[in-house]
Structures are given as structure tokens and as C-alpha cells.
Amino acid sequence: MGTCQKSGVDTQVEHLRQLYGDEFAPDIFAAIEALRTKYGDDFHEPGATAQLSEKDLLLITYGDTLTDHGVPPLQVLRRFYRKYLQGVFELVHILPFHPYSSDDGFSVIDYFEIRDELGSWDDIGKLAKDCRVMADAVINHTSSQSAWFTKFLKGDPEFSDFFVECDADVDLSTVIRPRTSPLLTRFEDHDSGERHVWTTFSSDQVDLNFRNPQVLVAVIDVLFFLIAKGARLLRLDAVTFLWKEAGTSSANLPETHLLIKILRHAISEFRSDVVVVTETNVPHRENVAYFGDGHDEAHMVYNFALPPLTAYSFIVGDGRRLSDWASQLNTPSDEVCFLNFSASHDGVGVRPVEEILTEDEIQQLVDATIAVKGRVSSRTLADGREHPYELNCTFLDLISKDSDDVSLKVARFIAAQAIVLTMPGVPAVYIQSLLGTSNDLQRVEQTGRARSINRSQHEFSSIVSKLSDDKSLESRIFSALTLLIGVRRRQSVFNPYESFRVLDLGSQVFALQRGHTSDDATISCIVNLTAERVVINVDTEISGADLLSGDVLEAGQHVLSPYAVRWLRNAGQD
């Protein structure tokens, strides 16, 4: 086992002292060290780092998005990956694959098992040999059907303080809510007594009590187990709400950041090449705080403001909001970066842009969602009012119009994805976007859940047939997007940590330059956000060969066709 640097040990113990007190910190640290021993020396790789490169793109998928009768879905996913995605995506995020009771996997019954209908740990291990797997660590809450909660209700002393209880009469009006359901849920224990348990997301998702250090140690056990099974990226789900405190917002509290520091240290000491990713669907200012000082919290944070700002830009044909926001992006060190995306298994959140877009502008996003038969999920504010929280819609449909022909629909969508691919950080593509999926209204009707609209399942043979037809929407999107990715992977300026600057080429265009102008090592990424021809002025610092078309754009005026994408390699480069 690798030895910790003394300063690292001291820092970890200090964090534990701040959270749990001087008396308990040494024993908690010893328990974490015992877990490292439990999982063995084989997982420590001296010198390995969590650094990522321009070749690292992430595919987001459920384990059973692709199906084939009689074949475990995880094996179908690996077959699809090897047939279509090897050399395209180096990273694959498999959404929760454990037994669960609700929320499509995010109410975990058993962290140490794979759902029988999905496959096995062996299937995860085989895929992990082809790519780096990102696993979900759903650590804010667990299922009300989990063994931990069952033992809690039965009065097992080991689990007596594992969940957050609260008197039903306590004023919790200041707590920030991501849902409209009640914050406390009443349960009956083994003595027929009432237990009011904190349930941030639903009555089936009971919140873990991190005030109890045994919960921290149990969660780290889960994280180490996932790493031992092959995960090289860990997505820490919903960490915004980890620490609860009546009379506060119970969101992004200082104690929550201490917890992330403790988890990051434990993970990095266990295996230094594991990437820690935080999922915090909150206003952008709060989201970026999970970088910490650039060394002690997340390696990557989801760039949650990017999806709604990109969608808004295409819906209104104006990129000023997106450009203004992007020009202010920064990270506290060159060891951390954003995870950029336009769509995920969840909808497009609007909380991240509450301090960026006006209420009227957010309403334009809501109206666009409703116009394409999407759904709008809400949250409850402190004054009891409901407010839009999330747009449930495929990104393809969100920025499309009924009058679009296929060519226009594809061009607009690929232009949007080009923005994701050029932003500083690591790009992530949701499998429904890659496959050109539209709103699944039938699935919404079947499940009664708005998020099901973007969680379609596909027969493997059907996908193969569609991708083989070069005239199909699915094939055209898949081919165009993988082509962009292929070009991107060959350009070192798309390294996640490389410098950038936003260019001003007019409100109808979003333009970003990656690399250093001092040595001409730049690529200027230009996207027409409109269905109109747009004239732009190209100067000598932007001019160059288009990596996508091969055309050379000299300094001067040029016309961009509707939804055109240009990646200009500066003319000063060989």
C-alpha cells in the first residue's frame, strides 16, 4: 500500500476534527485506513494521476438503454461500444446499476449488487477493460427498502442514527427544495412508533445522516468497492444536500464541502487515477464552489448552466447570454475542469441559470418545452410557490420546430453539440442525443414520470438498422457527431485544461478560441446560431483552414450558412 504524505494525513485528520470533533477524528481516520487495507494493495498505482486529455469524451447511458432479447443489457452495451464507439468515447458513464425501488435507479437498495436483469459485475469488469467506466455513487440517500433503512426501523443499534430524523413541528421553511413533495416522510418503526425522516427527493429516498461518522465510513466502503470493481470515475450524486441543518438552506453548507474534501482525499489515497465528479444542479456560482481550491474537492463539476444557455441561444437565435457567461468561466487550478454537456438522463435544469437569465427568458425556455410536448418539473420555494426546476425534453426536440425538415433539424442539433465539444473541459454526450431520440411520450404515459421522456429503450437490431440507413435522422446525427468527435480528438488544443477566449463575431454567432495566440497554436470555433445566412469579419488571429470542410478562410468578410460550424486552425500554424 502506498504511504500518505504526512501533510495529507494531517489535512485529512484536521477535516475530520472540524466535522466530528477532536475526540472522534483519529478513530474515523483509522477506520478509513482499515478500508484501504481491506481492499488490498493491488489498487494503489504510484504516480498515476486523474489528468484527462483531448481524447477523453464521456458517453452517458443507462445499463439497459440498449436491449437484445435474452442477452444481459450490459453485454449488449459492450457489443454496441465495441462496434460503434471504440476510438470515439474513452469514458462511459453507466447510470445506477444497483437493485432499486424507484427513480430509475437513484433509490438504491443494495450498493454491493448489480440488478439481476442487467448482468453481473463480470460484465462491468469486461467493459472496464475497453474504456474507463464512471459509476454513480448515490450517497445523499438510499432506498426506503434498503437493508440499512430496514435495520434502522427495526431498532438495530448499529443503524439507529443512520438517517436524518426531525420533529414534524420543526420549521423547515428555509430548506431549499428540488421537488414539490414533502420534505419529511412519516414511517412506522418496529414498536409502531412514528419516525419522521428527511426525504429530499421522494418518500422512497431516505437521506443518510452524515453527522454520524459511521455513515461516512460506510459510504467510503461503497466508493472503494466501486473502484475495486473497475470504476475509474465516481459521480457523487446530489451532494448539494449531504449535510442537513434546520434553520438553514441545508444546501451547499460548509460541512458539505468538508465532506467532499474528506471523500476526495480518501479516494485519491486509495487510487490516485480515479476522477471525482460532483453533481450539483444549483446556480452556477454555487456549482463551481465544488472545485474547492483546485486540489481538494472535485476533479470535475458538471457545467449545469451550459445546457439551458445553449438551448436558449438557439431558440432565440442570439448568443449574447451564452457568450457573456462563457467569457467569465474559470477554474482555480489546471488540475480541474468542467464536464460539459447539453443533455443527460435528467432534464435541462433551469436553477443553474436563475442568476444568469431573467424570468422572462426562462419562460421562453419553458414555452419552447411545452410547444414540443415536453414537460416542466417544478420545485417549491420558501414562500410555498412553485417555480420551474427542470425541462423534461430531449435536447433535439427542445431546440427544434415542427416546421423543420430533417436537414435543418440535424444541422441545428449538430451546431449545438459543436459548442459542447469546443468548451473548455471534458465533453459528455447522452446516448439519446447520439441516437437522435425524440420525446418518448409513450414512455411518460407508461411510467407516469416526466423524466421518462428522455429515457427511451432501444432494440439493438433496430438501432443497427437505423444507423445503416444513411438517410435516416438517427444515422445522420450519429455520423455527423462522431465525425466532429474524431476531429476533436486529434487536436491538442482541445485538452480539457487548455486556455480559451470568447470571440465577439456578433450576437447571432457563438465563437470561442482554444489555445495560445502567442505561438499561433489556436483553433477558433465558430457557430451560427440561426437559420439565416450571417456575415462575419475574420481577422488574422482567427483566419485559417477549416478542420471540418478543408476550406481556407482568409482575413476578411465571410458568410456562414444557417447553423454552420467552423473550426479554424490558425493560418500561422504549419
**pLDDT tens digit sequence for 35-78:** 999 998 556 566 678 999 999 999 999 999 999 999 999 999 99
Active-site hit among 56, 221, 237, 346: 237
Q: Is there a catalytic annotation at residue 237? A: yes
* Percent of the chain with pLDDT strictly greater than 70: 96
Interval 200-206 mean pLDDT: 97
**Residue 494 in contact with residue 523, Cβ under 8 Å?**
yes
pLDDT of 243 strictly over 60: yes
pLDDT band, very low/low/confident/very high, at 1 (cuts 50, 70, 90): very low
How far apart, in Å, are the Cα atoms of 165 and each of 36, 172, 203, 466?
31, 12, 13, 51
Interval 382-396 mean pLDDT: 90
Q: In this predicted structure, what is the pLDDT of residue 245?
A: 95
Can you tell me the distance from the alpha carbon of 464 to that of 486, in angstroms, rounded to the nearest whole number?
20
Are domains 58-140+216-345+405-494 and 500-570 of this chain identical in fold? Answer: no
Interval 388-413 mean pLDDT: 95
Tell me the domain boundaries of the chain: 58-140+216-345+405-494, 500-570
User: For 153-171, how does the pLDDT look when each residue is reduced to its tens digit (9 = 90+)?
Assistant: 999 999 999 999 999 999 9
Q: Which residue has the cell 407508461?
A: 446
User: For 517-544, how does the pLDDT look when each residue is reduced to its tens digit (9 = 90+)?
Assistant: 666 689 999 999 999 999 999 999 999 9
Q: Which residues contact 515 (CB under 8 A, 6 or more apart)?
A: 493, 498, 499, 500, 521, 522, 523
Report angle CA 43, 48, 49 to the nearest 5 degrees. 120
pLDDT band, very low/low/confident/very high, at 402 (cuts 50, 70, 90): confident
**Residue 249 in contact with residue 176, Cβ under 8 Å?**
yes
Can you tell me the distance from the alpha carbon of 295 to that of 7, in angstroms, rounded to the nearest whole number?
14
Give the class (CATH, top level) of 500-570.
Answer: mainly beta
From the list 371, 413, 396, the residue with the least C-alpha distance to 456 is 396
What is this structure's pTM? 0.95
pLDDT band, very low/low/confident/very high, at 314 (cuts 50, 70, 90): very high
Can you tell me the distance from the alpha carbon of 442 to that of 112, in angstroms, rounded to the nearest whole number?
33
Q: What's the CATH superfamily of 58-140+216-345+405-494?
A: Glycosidases (3.20.20.80)
Q: In this predicted structure, what is the pLDDT of residue 2?
A: 41
